[in-house]
Amino acid sequence: MIEIEEKTAKYVLCLLFIACLVIGVAEYYYNLDFAVDQKDFTQEKTAQTVITGFVRSGENLVNIFKKHKLRLKESLMVSEASANVHKLSSLGSFKPYKIVVGPDRKLESFTYGIDDDSVVTVINTDSGYRAEKKVIAYEKRILSVGGVIRNNLIDSIGEDREHLLLGLDLSDILAWDIDFSTGLRSGDSFRIVVEGLYLDNEFRKFGKILSAQFINNGSLYAAYRFEQNGDAHYYDETGRSLRKAFLKAPLNFRKISSHYSGSRLHPILKIYRPHHGIDYSAPAGTPVSASGGGTVSFAGYKNGYGKLVILSHPNGYRTCYGHLSKFGEGISSGKKVEQGQVVGYVGSTGMSTGPHLHYEMLVNNKTMNPLKIKMPAGEAIPKTLLADFSSYRKTMDTRLALIGLPIVASGERSDR
């Protein structure tokens, strides 16, 4: 009888041992997943405890140390040691952290994820606390993404954070040719060759867009990322820069998207051409961007225009932005503005029946249709590099051609 009990006890102990081992191994891989400090945790496993978590809203280092029953003095040492590397006095919500403690919950290291690309680790060494910042080394893979527009770009590309950012990157690259806020048509399509950044074989985020094709209203726009002298820009299929003197629209899709990130989707903008300018109907408060770089020649109230900004650009060009609810930060007469800078916000000041942006472009005091003018193009790839560019373009074209698009029934209507 006693003998059997002993055997049972041994069996239970053995099971417990295996369970501990499984938990230990699982924890080890879980820690690796954070991929910060790939130290071998199996050594002295019994003596170390690893705590991982995410910073909660309003939490600071002291709160975190208190929560995990660690010495508060150590939180001060950590904060002091990292002061010159990365200040830990305020932590970002939802940022990941990892704490390794030894026997008696003595701190061995504290790691904090600064952003998607870097972490700071404070190690408790024999000679004191030492902080170092590390760049996360992602493995790059080349991915392809394709889609057909039904409602808007984000709907088609995917609404999760990574796809949303990819969509915004694409809209930035083609912002000189395509108006992503009002100019997309149902049935437009896109193909993107993009870097995928991986950690431990797991997709983390998209990197740079290497090339893209966008068919907008029947016209094909292509973009190829090409580097020269350490500077990377996007070029069309002939090697001309995609950057132009004027953006296709004064309402930047990225700015609108980030401005209205609280609502599920971006406001539906409409465009009208009732007179010498273009009216963009948009919710009050939508940021208005300078379509080109230049100088503010007027920022004030003017009759029917209400709050108005006029910019002067090189070569006799001027752009006007009317009915604004307020001016952008630092926008006043004589100030220089960069292309894309916010000059004001959509409103309904002056002679206006509802919130909209009145946009006008003039050349030598003559109004013209901004949608039709031939934009002066940016710099092209130098002749000496054209052969390189062309072979790069060909490999990209092969990849782009392989991207399949979802089939959308021709009669299908968007259910907006």
Which residues form the interface with Zn ion (CB under 5 A)? Answer: 279, 358
Residue 276 CB, shortest distance to Zn ion, in Å, is 8
* Closer by beta carbon to Zn ion, 356 or else 393: 356
* Closer by beta carbon to Zn ion, 167 or else 306: 306
* Closer by beta carbon to Zn ion, 52 or else 348: 348
Residue 255 CB, shortest distance to Zn ion, in Å, is 21
Helix, strand, coil percentages in the chain from 3-state DSSP, rounded to 5: 25, 35, 40
Residue 302 CB, shortest distance to Zn ion, in Å, is 13
Candidates 319, 325, 313, 334; CA nearest to 287 is 325
Residue 305 CB, shortest distance to Zn ion, in Å, is 9
Residue nearest Zn ion, Cβ-based: 358
3-state secondary structure 133-152: EEECCCEEEEEEEEEECCCC
* Closer by beta carbon to Zn ion, 334 or else 354: 354
Residue 144 CB, shortest distance to Zn ion, in Å, is 42
Residue 358 CB, shortest distance to Zn ion, in Å, is 3
Q: What single letter denotes the amino acid at residue 16?
A: L
Residue 287 CB, shortest distance to Zn ion, in Å, is 18
Q: How many Cα neighbours within 13 Å face the side chain of 34?
A: 27
3-state secondary structure 83-103: CCCCCCCCCCCCCEEEEEECH
Q: What single letter denotes the amino acid at residue 252?
A: N
Instruction: Quote the tokens at residue 152.
Output: 């808007």
Which ranges of 266-405 would DSSP assign to H, the alpha helix?
386-401
Residue 182 CB, shortest distance to Zn ion, in Å, is 14
Give the integer Cα–Cα distance in Å for 68 and 138.
Answer: 30
Q: Which residues pair with 193 in a beta bridge?
A: 144, 211
DSSP letter string over 238-262?
TSBBS-BSS-S-SS-HHHHHHHTTT
* Closer by beta carbon to Zn ion, 188 or else 279: 279
* Closer by beta carbon to Zn ion, 145 or else 278: 278
* Closer by beta carbon to Zn ion, 58 or else 274: 274
Q: Give the CA radius of gyration of the chain.
A: 28
* Closer by beta carbon to Zn ion, 108 or else 279: 279
Strands (E), 152-272: 189-199, 202-216, 219-228, 231-235, 270-272
